[in-house]
Structure 1
């Protein structure tokens, strides 16, 4: 059933890439992180990538795009499948065959650890099934995550008025207040990445979190824009950019991956205006869901009980994102496949530091 192990790199976009991306877009667990362009982006910043896929009766039915990178002062090489593999987890034979072929890819490239983070939403049924799969396939569940497991999904299927009505009253008020206070939002282009990068640096310093290099956001826009998979929105007042978001769309989901704001005119609520513009764009693209991407890894009860008095980590982010009226969803988390126990201990020590 194995069809290809395909190197992606910087080669021209091919028919095979188009077929893969169509598969990702239509898969129930598909994600922007499994697209060809995501591999191209990561290839520019220290990762290599390979793709394994499977066919049945000529039809692509399962696969994984695997990223590789050296870690722990280059002493450890890890393999990573963000939001994958894409497989029917209820089909034991399909899962076994695909994991065996992933093992082969990992072995040939000398990685000691494989980390997988499937985009499977947690529920009693999926959690029980996932635990059984991990036991059957000798996977170590509940390991450290790279992508945030907890997110907020906004349903874009209702009318714009109903989407607004589903938001918290304060958020809805702030969106309208921004317009009253003269904030305008426009869709930007490549020439606006410099302004976005400047706001990203300010945001990182203000909120104390790491940001990518300016070249990263430029590359992300350059790679995804030709296929209409990314949009940059800027909220401005008096010609000055006050906030910006970069949103990526694939299939029925748009994901808010990067956002920034200046320290100026914050009372004009530009961050609310720019998010609302991005949601309307996503709806126009045919997306059913707007993924606000990352909130603290806690239950909804704990989030609601603590967001008013906590500002560490992603808690301030949750206070903002909860207002848009979405539903909290958590993935089943990360799982590791260990090929070298000694190296895995070194990896854990490095991650704990």
Structure 2
């Protein structure tokens, strides 16, 4: 086995990297090459590390580094990934051990204060968590990605999907169509309109948003591979709402959404979500992630977050909870100072992926 780094010559192609991610049954969009390039455009340093044996990639991780003066912070969103074909657990463990050794080596060379890891593992997968702890990582209360979400099973046909929704949600989808709300696919030319809706949503619900260029790049970087879609909802040519969704590796995600304060009684968001689910099915996705609900009752205290949860629950999905964040500390004094000053999300706007309230 040997470890390859993307900043060195001879690293596999973009396609080979994404194929490795897709060979993990839960290989996530946030580990794809394009996601790393999106983050690079906004100040991050993406480093991909892969363990290879006889020309086959066995495991890997895309690590994002952010410079803080002479130091840096490391972050692995929804990784590492392990190829499903590696059926021998001993090989997987050897590959992961080699991968972690390389990650720590690179992090130290970049003078990382700490490394935050948020795997795509469910909280009941305790054996996987034990492996993280064995590598010296410790649980962190500071999650970047939502720890709890709702996932809709897309394997049933459309009639069954509608039947699993709350009756009011089915009614609202049909009402939106009946009242003349038109949903159509957008392009980067619609980004100014989408961003105006994002600003309205931000002001209404009290959370920060990314720049307009961020959303444009987040759409166009994945468009050539057919992995992203922008849907816009209009009523009499007035933009009411929009969303950006993604599909990869049999999964799909609703990541960014926005809506106007006008004609909310026409329920454009219900129709938008339904159209996004139909698109996801057409891309071969077997699940649709509504990307985040509050993790605790305290989180649900605000009306906006409680409303978000009620809205997402109506689509008939299953609530899942992930293992959360784990930190590896390279400099304890600096780590302590950093935690006292800011949490990761406030300190580094744009680290997350989903709706801005999670970043």
Relative to the length of structure 1, the TM-score reads 0.90
Per-residue deviation, 1:46: 1.1
Per-residue deviation, 1:226: 1.4
Distance (whole Å) between structure 1 residues aligned to residue 129 and residue 157 of structure 2: 39
Distance (whole Å) between structure 2 residues aligned to residue 135 and residue 334 of structure 1: 12
Q: Is the 8 A contact 1:41 1:223 kept in 2?
A: yes
* Counterpart among 318, 333, 336 of residue 342 in structure 1: 333
* Counterpart among 214, 225, 228 of residue 227 in structure 1: 225
Which residue does the alignment assign to 1:107? Answer: 108
Per-residue deviation, 1:25: 2.2
CA RMSD of aligned residues (A): 2.1
Per-residue deviation, 1:312: 4.4
* 1:4-59 deviation per Cα after TM superposition (whole angstroms, max 9, x unaligned): 11039xxxxx9611011112123112111001110110011111111100123321
* Counterpart among 36, 39, 63 of residue 42 in structure 1: 39
Q: Is the 8 A contact 1:55 1:62 kept in 2?
A: yes
* 1:296-329 deviation per Cα after TM superposition (whole angstroms, max 9, x unaligned): 113xxx69xx97xx43463221111000000011
List aligned pairs for 1:158-307, cutoff 5 A. Answer: 158-298=156-296
Q: For structure 1, which segment, 337-346 or 92-101, has the greater mean C-alpha deviation from structure 2 after superposition? A: 92-101
Aligned partner of residue 340 in structure 2, secondary structure: helix
Aligned partner of residue 73 in structure 2, secondary structure: strand
Aligned partner of residue 324 in structure 1, secondary structure: coil
Which residue does the alignment assign to 1:64? Answer: 61
Distance (whole Å) between structure 2 residues aligned to residue 131 and residue 23 of structure 1: 22
What are structure 2's unaligned runs of at least 5 residues?
347-359
Distance (whole Å) between structure 1 residues aligned to residue 93 and residue 219 of structure 2: 39
* 1:163-202 deviation per Cα after TM superposition (whole angstroms, max 9, x unaligned): 0101111111111110111111111111111110000000
Q: Is the 8 A contact 2:129 2:323 kept in 1?
A: no
Relative to the length of structure 2, the TM-score reads 0.89
List aligned pairs for 1:137-148, cutoff 5 A. Answer: 137-148=135-146
Per-residue deviation, 1:131: 4.2
Distance (whole Å) between structure 2 residues aligned to residue 69 and residue 45 of structure 1: 10
Distance (whole Å) between structure 2 residues aligned to residue 120 and residue 266 of structure 1: 36
Q: Describe the shift of the 1:112–1:2 C-alpha distance in structure 2 as closer, same or farther (beyond 3 A).
A: farther
Per-residue deviation, 1:143: 3.5
Aligned partner of residue 80 in structure 1, secondary structure: strand
What are structure 1's unaligned runs of at least 5 residues?
9-13
Distance (whole Å) between structure 2 residues aligned to residue 27 and residue 313 of structure 1: 35
Q: Is the 8 A contact 2:185 2:229 kept in 1?
A: yes
Which residue does the alignment assign to 2:342? Answer: 351
Q: Describe the shift of the 1:320–1:76 C-alpha distance in structure 2 as closer, same or farther (beyond 3 A).
A: farther
Distance (whole Å) between structure 2 residues aligned to residue 232 and residue 67 of structure 1: 26
